[in-house]
Amino acid sequence: MFEARLAQSAILKKVLEAVKDLLSEATFECSDSGIMVQAMDNAHVSLVSLNLRSDGFDKFRCDRNLSMGMNITTMTKILRCASSEDTVTLRAWDNPDNIIFIFESPSKEKLAEYEMKLINMDQEHLGIPETMYSCVVKMPSAEFARICKDLSQFGEAITIACSKEGVKFSAAGDYGNANIKLAQTAEVDKEEEAVCIDMQEPVKLTFACRYLNSFVKATPLCAQVKLSMSADVPLVCEYSIGEIGHIRYYLAPKIDD
């Protein structure tokens, strides 16, 4: 059987909110090392890679590897039925047709069970090569979300230019243009407020706002976001998920006509 328990459902609720805009369904690969999801959005522009390690769960049991096709829209609805402080347990039997979500209140006086039908999915797995990126920017996730939101008013794409001076986000459209420059922070009281730039070579890439604005739905998961970029390859936008894992979004850049 498969059983995975988290003491607080908040993490799983945030994970679902972070993927639901991009994915309508996805296969959850469960093994004794944890839960992995890799799925592209419908337009095959972006890819979501989610990894939750078994040792990050309060209880984790997976007797045999399982691939469970889940409807993300339904799963999001179910997770919204849990209070953030509720314990959440995912349970499925071998060769399952269904998965059960069990929410238990901290006082243990309320126990809710939701059963969701699994779906058969065609799987298309992509091999993501290990890449040394020219620029890696770590910055406050709320700042990145704010920049994406603000610049989206000006155009449908954001250009990210990273040099040793700092990182510049810009957008241009019919009504004008905007740019926001961030320099590496010299000294900060709190690590999560730092902007840190690791640059081997300058990079300038352009990305569709629509996808960036979906990625920033992961902001509640982590105070910092890591952006990894190299010329002519997809952006990696990564959020840690506490001590349990991470979510990575890959986004194909715009190509000059």
Partner 1 sequence: TGTQGRIDSFFKIL
Min separation Cβ 125 and partner 1, Å? 4
| Closer residue to partner 1 in complex, CB, 108/125 | 125
- Residue 167 has, within 13 A of its CA and on its CB side, a CA count of 25
Question: Residue 216 and residue 237: Cα distance in Å, rounded?
Answer: 9
Mention every residue, 6+ apart, whose C-beta is less than 8 A from residue 245.
Answer: 34, 50, 51, 52, 53, 56
Choose, by CB under 8 A, the member of 44, 61, 110, 164 that binds partner 1: 44
Question: Could you give the string, one character per residue 93-132, with x where binding to partner 1 holds by CB under 8 A and - elsewhere?
Answer: -------------------------------xxxxxx---
Q: Which range touches partner 1 (CB under 8 A), out of 8-16, 22-30, 45-53, 217-225?
A: 45-53
CA-to-CA dists, residue 32 to 1, 7, 21, 77, angstroms: 11, 19, 28, 27
Residue with tokens 């996805």: 26
Q: How many residues does the chain have?
A: 257
Question: Residue 62 and residue 1: Cα distance in Å, rounded?
Answer: 6
157 binds partner 1 (CB under 8 A): yes
Question: Residue 87 and residue 102: Cα distance in Å, rounded?
Answer: 8
| Closer residue to partner 1 in complex, CB, 142/252 | 252
Choose, by CB under 8 A, the member of 3, 17, 36, 40 that binds partner 1: 40
| Closer residue to partner 1 in complex, CB, 77/204 | 204
46 binds partner 1 (CB under 8 A): yes
Question: Residue 66 and residue 9: Cα distance in Å, rounded?
Answer: 22
| Closer residue to partner 1 in complex, CB, 43/111 | 43
Min separation Cβ 214 and partner 1, Å? 13
Size of the site for partner 1 (CB under 8 A): 28
Question: Could you give the string, one character per residue 217-256, with x where binding to partner 1 holds by CB under 8 A and - elsewhere?
Answer: ----------------xx---------------xxxxxxx
Min separation Cβ 200 and partner 1, Å? 20
Choose, by CB under 8 A, the member of 19, 37, 47, 118 that binds partner 1: 47
Tokens of 145: 């979300």
Long-range contacts of 126-132 (CB under 8 A, 24+ apart): 126/38, 126/40, 126/47, 128/47, 128/49, 128/250, 131/228, 131/230, 131/233, 132/200, 132/230
Question: Could you give the string, one character per residue 185-224, with x where binding to partner 1 holds by CB under 8 A and - elsewhere?
Answer: ---------------------x-x----------------
Judge contact between 225 and 237, C-beta under 8 A: yes
| Closer residue to partner 1 in complex, CB, 46/87 | 46
Judge contact between 221 and 241, C-beta under 8 A: yes
> Which residues bind to partner 1, rule: CB under 8 A?
40, 43-47, 124-129, 155-157, 172, 206, 208, 233-234, 250-257
